[in-house]
Amino acid sequence: MRDVPAPRVLSGIQPTADSFHLGNLLGALRQWVALQDDHDAFYCVVDLHAITAEQPDPAVLRQRTLVSAAQLLALGVDPERSTLFVQSHVPEHAQLAWVLQCLTGFGEASRMTQFKDKSTREGAGAASVGLFTYPVLQAADILLYQAARVPVGEDQRQHLELTRDLATRFNGRYGDTFTLPEAYVPPGAAKVLDLQSPDKKMSKSLPPAGCVNLLDDPKVTAKKIRSAVTDTGREVVADPVGKPGVTNLLAIHSALSGQSTAQLEEHFAGRGYGDLKKELADVVTEAFAPVQQRTAELLADTAELERVLAAGAARARAVAAPTLATVYERVGFLAPFGGTPA
């Protein structure tokens, strides 16, 4: 009986901050670790995407890229069970993106809601063409590896639909080339809300008091949790409409401790919000401690980190290069004399 190959999954994260945050961990990164068990996993630090909305200091971008990779390893991404690489180390991403841009209608790209939101927030004059074509580069990231599954949140579903549309369009015009990826919502993914604005998703773009970073000093983390917005009354119960702040704190506790919401409500019966916040601060800092220690070790001597990323880029290119070569041949590009498209 032939072994059935594991489905390939691809996901990426931007190095646009000095640390990942609790929302990244519980909403995506913890699931990345679990997916390694039964998927052919490709994970990348998407530094090309990181310059679409701003032009960070070059030294800062390089350091954030290393810190991002170090955190992924510290969280449990295993280079023996998955492929971890930096997006810009695989030039095929940008090369395929250009071909796909030439298949994308202007109106089609204009309808992407994330571009509308960001350009409205930052002003049309400040929005770059790179931000406009961001979803097409994202499509190239996915299609380059023939990924069957892509972990997505609600804010990325439209981009995945564009990816599928572009794959279908290319396949129809040039013959079957790309796998049509499916959206995948990993079990256990949690939506973490901002501690100060529990009507919004936790994000580095909001004021820092509401965002709990993985690499924050434990005292800073505890202070942010103690200062979290709660609600009227004293009863510690989940009520997304009436008590969104408390509900968010309970959801974070549940995701990290493994206790159900009902168990936590029973545990905190007769106690107040201060008790919840104190215990949650302990749970969060305890969960972060080994990640912080391992991240610091990897950054103290980057030789291991550099070796992992170099090996990951080589493995990624071994998959990406044949895909791009097929695309170039089918589009009609003249192959380099004495070699193949690269």
pLDDT at res. 61: 96
224 carries an active-site annotation: no
Q: Which residues pair with 41 in a beta bridge?
A: 9, 82
**Residue 203 annotated in ligand binding:** yes
Parallel, antiparallel or unpaired: strands 8-13 and 40-45: parallel
The residue from 116, 191, 200, 204 that is catalytic is: 204
pLDDT at res. 2: 45
User: 277, 249 in Cβ contact below 8 A?
Assistant: yes
The residue from 191, 201, 224, 278 that is catalytic is: 201
**Residue 217 annotated in ligand binding:** no
**Residue 16 annotated in ligand binding:** yes
pLDDT digits 0-9 by tens, 80-92: 999 999 999 999 9
* Below-50 pLDDT ranges, the chain: 1-2
200 carries an active-site annotation: no
The residue from 118, 224, 243, 277 that is catalytic is: 118
CA 147 to chain centre: 16
User: 319, 179 in Cβ contact below 8 A?
Assistant: no
pTM for the model: 0.92
Amino acid at 68: S
Sign of torsion over alpha carbons 24, 46, 130, 144: negative
> What domains are there in the chain, each with its CATH number?
8-189+301-331 (3.40.50.620), 208-297 (1.10.240.10)
Q: Which of 41, 134, 50 is nearest to 87 (CA)?
A: 50
Amino acid at 272: G
pLDDT at res. 124: 60
pLDDT at res. 157: 83
**Residue 155 annotated in ligand binding:** yes
Q: Which of 43, 51, 27 is nearest to 78 (CA)?
A: 43
pLDDT digits 0-9 by tens, 170-227: 999 999 999 999 998 877 778 899 999 999 999 988 899 999 999 999 999 999 999 9
User: 305, 70 in Cβ contact below 8 A?
Assistant: yes
**Residue 23 annotated in ligand binding:** yes
Collapsed DSSP state (helix, strand, coil) of residue 335: coil
pLDDT at res. 129: 86
**Residue 204 annotated in ligand binding:** yes
pLDDT at res. 128: 83
Give 44's DSSP letter: E
**Residue 205 annotated in ligand binding:** yes
